[in-house]
């Protein structure tokens, strides 16, 4: 009888232990948005001033790929553009002589008209000046058209060279390696002196100050969870050491997936769960991959 009296106490202790172990609604691991920065140019890597663990500011220059050949190509194109510009004709100067001939022909025509009125000239002389004036007008039109076509062609050549110069300048800009975000360098894949090529990874960076917990919830919890909800996040440092952080749900998966082996849910019978992302402001103690818990 005495032994039987112990059973209710044992059951109560077991149930309380189970409830204590379920002081969370979901679990997951901490993650950060990682960016692998790759080379956008081909050439010798002259410098790369990043080390694992170093903090970088957005758009800060951290490396340089050799730019000598691109710079020489830019100088060549600029010289070509200058040569094209020098070939552009001055239309007004080119047609000035023809305009002067037309002005002279008009004066002579007017003089003959006056003589004709005084019966001091004949009609043929006036017709000759009319014919000569018409020829000069056609010459002026042909000359102007030719010069304009030549100028338009040279303008097109100049524009083409200008576009090539802009392309080289863009390639020169890409030789300067910049940090895409404010973050911490997680890994370094190249060293100065190595040959860089387009697409070759140089380093990996992540914003570990603004991380998120990828947790998993069951379908029954899904109805009570929505975007923007504030939650309590607990970082598990091991040895029963936990620290609380405020968090906010920023993403909920639209499809269910099988429960990952390392994840615990409040319903152990659930075999499919929905992933959620919870934004957390890191104080420097949370590390990527650390285990975390959520209380809604």
**What does pLDDT average to in each consecutive run of 10 residues of the chain (296 residues)?**
40 38 81 95 96 94 96 94 87 89 89 84 86 90 89 88 95 96 95 95 95 91 90 88 92 86 60 90 92 91
Grouping H, G, I as helix, E, B as strand and the rest as coil, residue 127 is: helix
Same domain (yes/no): 157, 99: yes
The residue segments making up the domain with residue 267 are 24-35+207-295
Displacement of CA 292 from its chain's centroid (Å): 34
Same domain (yes/no): 137, 55: no
Nearest to 139 by CA among 166, 99, 172, 191: 99
Helix residue ranges per DSSP H, the chain: 2-21, 68-86, 91-94, 96-117, 123-174, 219-222
Whether pTM exceeds 0.75: no
Contact 103, 62 (CB under 8 A): no
pLDDT in the model for residue 276: 95
From 205, 224, 251, the end of a domain falls on: 205
pLDDT tens readout for residues 267-289: 555 678 899 999 999 998 999 99
Same domain (yes/no): 97, 163: yes
Q: Is residue 152 part of a domain?
A: yes
pLDDT in the model for residue 11: 34
pLDDT in the model for residue 52: 94
Contact 201, 37 (CB under 8 A): yes
């Amino acid at each position: 009888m005495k032994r039987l009296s112990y059973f209710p106490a044992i059951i109560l202790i077991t149930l309380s232990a189970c409830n204590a172990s379920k002081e969370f609604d979901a679990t997951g691991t901490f993650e950060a948005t990682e960016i692998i920065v790759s080379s956008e140019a081909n050439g010798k890597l002259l410098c790369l001033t990043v080390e694992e663990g170093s903090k970088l500011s957005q758009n800060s220059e951290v490396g340089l790929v050799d730019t000598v050949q691109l710079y020489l190509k830019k100088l060549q194109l600029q010289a070509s553009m200058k040569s094209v510009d020098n070939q552009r004709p001055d239309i007004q100067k080119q047609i000035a002589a023809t305009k002067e001939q037309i002005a002279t022909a008009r004066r002579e025509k007017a003089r003959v008209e006056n003589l004709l009125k005084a019966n001091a000239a004949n009609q043929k002389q006036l017709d000759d000046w009319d014919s000569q004036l018409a020829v000069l007008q056609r010459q002026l039109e042909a000359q102007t058209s030719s010069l304009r076509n030549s100028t338009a062609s040279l303008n097109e050549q100049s524009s083409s060279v200008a576009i090539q110069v802009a392309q080289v300048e863009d390639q020169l800009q890409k030789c300067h390696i910049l940090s895409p975000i404010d973050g911490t360098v997680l890994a370094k894949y190249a060293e100065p002196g190595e040959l860089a090529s387009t697409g070759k990874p140089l380093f990996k960076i992540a914003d570990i100050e603004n991380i998120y917990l990828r947790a998993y919830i069951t379908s029954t919890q899904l109805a009570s969870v929505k975007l923007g909800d504030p939650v309590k996040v607990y970082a598990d440092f091991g040895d029963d050491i936990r620290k609380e952080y405020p968090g906010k749900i920023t993403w909920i998966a639209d499809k269910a997936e099988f429960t990952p082996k390392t994840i615990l849910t409040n319903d152990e019978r659930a075999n499919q769960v929905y992933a959620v992302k919870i934004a957390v402001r890191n104080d420097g103690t949370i590390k990527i991959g650390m285990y975390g818990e959520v209380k809604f």
